[in-house]
Amino acid sequence: MAAVALGRDFEFKVVRPEVCPTGIAEVDALAGGLPQGCLTEIYGPASSGRTSLMLAAMAQSTGSENVCALVDASDAFDPASAAAAGVQLERLLWVRCGGNAEHALKAADLLVQGGGFGLVVMDLADTPAIAARRISMTSWFRLRRAVEHTPTVLLVVEQQPHAKTCASLTLEMRREQVSWPGAPDAPSCARLLRGMRVHVDRRKPVPAIAASFESRW
């Protein structure tokens, strides 16, 4: 009896972190939202909807009156797209690293250490895979350690997953189809790029599950 009671006392409890919505209902249903105090990875090839998800999360966060920071490794952020997606630019701190992934890593570390941000995004989506792979696991562990026990969501956007065990949530993105309204044989001047259907796979935590959402404009 005593041994059973002791076992009950030491029962392993999983503490689930609080989550912030991404602003896309399908992704929230899939992943439960972006966990606070954790590192989340979004990866996929070009035009797979990573930026759409990133902007949706930033819009959601700034809409909740949080201050967000974007570490833009390749200077690829388009303020007009962000404003149209609902991001409140006055609540956004944009750090342009001019293609230097090492600077991006240091800047993200400074921002997470500084504290007070609702969302810190490190955008490595256009960083060549070779350069991204050079980021050591120590750096990823350092980032994860820095964001732990804070209410900040650390979001990393890239082509391939690199954070490995440091990421609490990993989402793989790919484009399913592109919407070009108009007859397929119509001249291009009679067509318009309207949006695309994005497929999202939750790779971590297991089990892997999938969802799709429409990115329209």
Which residues contribute to the site for other proteins (CB under 8 A)? Answer: 45-52, 55, 64-67, 75-85, 88-98, 100, 103, 106-107, 110-111, 113-118, 125-126, 151, 175, 178, 180, 187-189, 191-193, 196, 215, 217
Q: Closer to other proteins at the Cβ: 145 or 164?
A: 145
Alpha helices in the chain, H assignment, sequence order: 2-9, 25-31, 50-63, 79-84, 101-114, 129-133, 137-147
The rounded distance, in Å, linking the Cα atoms of 30 and 200 is 9
Give 58 or 166: the residue with its C-beta nearer to other proteins. Answer: 58
CB of 6 to other proteins, least distance (A): 38
Task: Considering the complex, state which of residue 5 and residue 33 has its C-beta at the smaller distance from other proteins.
Answer: 33
For residue 139, the minimal CB distance to other proteins (Å) is: 15
For residue 117, which of 54, 185, 61 has the smallest C-alpha distance?
A: 61
Work out how close the CB of 129 gets to other proteins at its nearest, in angstroms, rounded to a whole number. 13
CA distance 176 to 7: 49
Rounded to a whole number of angstroms, the minimum distance from the CB of residue 9 to other proteins is: 32
- Residue 159 backbone class (left: φ over 0; alpha: ψ -120 to 50; beta: rest): alpha
Peptide bond preceding 151: is omega within 30 degrees of 0, i.e. cis? no
Tokens of 55: 């902007």
Nearer to other proteins, 133 or 164 (CB): 133
Q: Between 164 and 192, name the residue whose CB sits nearer to other proteins.
A: 192
Min. distance of Cβ 54 from other proteins in angstroms?
9
